[in-house]
Amino acid sequence: MNIALAQLNYHIGNFEANTNKIIEHIALAKEKGADLVVFAELAVCGYPPRDFLEFEEFISLCETAAEKIAAHCKGIACIVGLPVRNEHVAGKDLYNAAHFIEDGKIKATVKKALLPNYDVFDEYRYFEPATNFACIDFKGCKIALTICEDLWNINNNPLYVSNPMDELIKEQPDVMLNIAASPFSYCHDEERVAVLADNAKKYQLPLLYVNQVGAQTELIFDGGSLVFDATGALLDEMPYFTEALRMYEFDGKKVLHHQVTAHQAASDIEQIHDALVLGIKDYFEKSGFKKAVLGLSGGIDSALVCALACRALGPENVMAVLMPSKYSTDHSVQDALDLVKNIGCKHEIIPIKEAADAFDQMMAPAFSGLSFNLTEENIQARCRGIVVMAMSNKFGYILLNTSNKSECAVGYGTLYGDMCGAIGVIGDVYKTQVYQLATHINKDAEVIPLNSIVKPPSAELRPGQKDSDSLPDYDTLDQILFQYVELQKSSAAIIAQGFEEQLVRRIIKMVNNAEFKRYQTPPILRVSPKAFGMGRRMPIVGKYLS
């Protein structure tokens, strides 16, 4: 039997595009000689559909799409993920499920049992967990089909009290199939390989796993579909961050004609780079946008975002706006212009001095007798926000936010100024990682000017200003932030690692006090195990650790 894995990029709620893509790949798999083609979790509607699932019409459109797909399953079978209705009154109205389709008919429906409800996942909000399990019979083969999380309850601290495979194995299946929508983080590929290998070893069955690829606003799916033999050895690994269709010959609990290969993990920085490019590209394509605008300061953050945007959208579709203040240095403007020259994007130079001076004059009576402080710095940042939003409105550009994770964490940014935008490109990338990404982009030729990388970071909102005036050294700051944000360590636990107590308590207080700012920022492309946004839900007025 030949089994094809279809690793595809879906669009949430775009039933026409998703259905056509699935049908096209059914035909392509059939042409290549596949008996069965397997698509990802919730492929019909896209993942995660969130509250779209509460619309009756949305579920009806899923059902209509399934009927269209079934009509093309002649001479080939398919497995495809979609939400299905719960026929019982008790419980949630829907299941996260998959249809097995053969001879133009839905022959079986498998329902997901383990519904993740942590970090970015909230499936139990919508779905009822399955309680009955049965294998699929196809061409004399018993298939144990599971859906994503159903195979993830295999570690030393299980989240669930049961495993679907413990029930399915009683029917003596010949092969395991798992369809998934497994979001990217830079360390998730190795964890995924280990978990799936453990399943193959535990149940002594070959395992074919198909993941989706593509970005859905902040969530990025990296593909990397996998095939294991019954010993848990990795036989094949499909490409990352791109669509692919690949076929495997299967015979009597063996996948034929594939040599055992080790997992070829790219570096964290290379993975983050590829994920961000895909995240920008899909955000624009799936939203119907074509052109981006951003403020280009001459610093490393905006230079990095500009370079990533040009790779995702093409330099002809990126507008960089230089907005020097009266405190901007000549070399900052030159560094920005050097980047524009290197990369070939469009640019405008729009100084903000007159606008900032006008605000100072307008506010002078109210501020009489008060000295220059953060207020005037923020006015300048908000002038820049007005400029880039004006460019967005006038020309239809979509504004890219350029704040990094270190700044987002401690609130080092101005609401309605440099924190505005439609999508946060590097808001899940620490400052130390920003430097690594810049080096990666420059590996073949200088794209980001060297001076943007080596000069001390500065917002240039007052004379001689440097980030280090307000923030600890980024190497130290990022280490403490990682312990607190990603690892959820307490201040006492971080101090015990040797970090200075006053500094740790100051940083954690800054993080907590900035929660109200993050609540108002754009969605952030997620590349780490714990990103700001829907995966980290903190009370704004909480006292704990503040």
User: Of these residues, 21, 111, 112, 405, which one is catalytic?
Assistant: 112
Residue 167: predicted pLDDT: 97
Residue 257: predicted pLDDT: 61
Query: pLDDT-based confidence at 544, cuts 50/70/90?
Result: confident
Residue 466: predicted pLDDT: 74
Residue 483: predicted pLDDT: 97
CA distance 308 to 277: 6
Task: Count Cβ atoms below 10 Å from residue 538 Cβ, excluding itself.
Answer: 12
Please give the average per-residue pLDDT across 253-273, as a whole number.
Answer: 82
pLDDT value at 410 more than 80: yes
Residue 263: predicted pLDDT: 76
pLDDT value at 423 more than 80: yes
Catalytic residue at 73? no
CA distance 330 to 322: 12
Beta carbons of 8 and 25 less than 8 angstroms apart: yes
Query: pLDDT-based confidence at 259, cuts 50/70/90?
Result: low
Please give the average per-residue pLDDT across 446-455, as a whole number.
Answer: 94
List the domains of the chain with CATH numbers: 2-265 (3.60.110.10), 270-467 (3.40.50.620)
Residue 30: predicted pLDDT: 98
Catalytic residue at 112? yes
Please give the annotated binding residues, written as ranges.
118, 182, 295-302, 378, 402, 407, 517
Please give the average per-residue pLDDT across 461-473, as a whole number.
Answer: 77
Query: pLDDT-based confidence at 335, cuts 50/70/90?
Result: very high
Residue 482: predicted pLDDT: 98
314: left (phi over 0), alpha (psi -120 to 50) or beta: left
Q: Which one-letter amino acid corresponds to residue 358?
A: A
Residue 546: predicted pLDDT: 60
The three-state secondary structure class of 161 is coil
User: Of these residues, 41, 102, 218, 460, which one is catalytic?
Assistant: 41
Please give the average per-residue pLDDT across 275-302, as a whole number.
Answer: 97
Rounded to the nearest integer, the mean pLDDT of the chain is 95
pLDDT value at 297 more than 90: yes
pLDDT value at 341 more than 80: yes
Please give the average per-residue pLDDT across 204-220, as a whole number.
Answer: 97
Give Rg (Cα) of the chain: 26
Please give the annotated binding residues for deamido-NAD(+), written as ranges.
378, 407, 517
Please give the average per-residue pLDDT across 471-498, as a whole number.
Answer: 96
Q: Widest CA span of the chain, in angstroms?
A: 88
pLDDT value at 528 more than 70: yes
Q: Which of 181-185, 239-243, 459-463, 492-496 comes out lowest in average pLDDT?
A: 459-463
- Stronger pLDDT, 276 or 254, i.e. the higher one: 276
Residues pairing with 219 in the sheet: 216
pLDDT value at 102 more than 80: yes
Catalytic residue at 191? no
pLDDT value at 261 more than 80: no
- Stronger pLDDT, 490 or 469, i.e. the higher one: 490
Please give the average per-residue pLDDT across 327-355, as a whole number.
Answer: 93
Calculate what percentage of the chain has a pLDDT beyond 70: 98
pLDDT value at 459 more than 70: no
Residue 299: predicted pLDDT: 94
**CA dist 128 to 45, 111, 122, 154, 229, Å?**
18, 9, 12, 21, 32
Beta carbons of 309 and 281 less than 8 angstroms apart: no
Please give the average per-residue pLDDT across 517-536, as a whole number.
Answer: 96
b or e along 308-327 (b: 16 or more beta carbons within 10 Å of the residue's beta carbon)?
bbbbbbebebbbbbbbbbeb
User: Of these residues, 78, 135, 141, 148, which one is catalytic?
Assistant: 148
Please give the average per-residue pLDDT across 467-472, as a whole number.
Answer: 78
Q: Which one-letter amino acid corresponds to residue 62?
A: C
Residue 258: predicted pLDDT: 65
- Stronger pLDDT, 161 or 355, i.e. the higher one: 355
Please give the average per-residue pLDDT across 59-76, as a whole number.
Answer: 98
- The residues near 490 (Cβ < 8 Å, ≥ 6 apart) are 545
The three-state secondary structure class of 546 is coil
Q: Which of 108-112, 164-168, 467-471 comes out lowest in average pLDDT?
A: 467-471
Residue 507: predicted pLDDT: 96
Residue 235: predicted pLDDT: 94
Please give the annotated binding residues for ATP, written as ranges.
295-302, 402
Residue 457: predicted pLDDT: 77
Please give the annotated binding residues for L-glutamine, written as ranges.
118, 182
pLDDT value at 465 more than 80: no
Query: pLDDT-based confidence at 359, cuts 50/70/90?
Result: very high
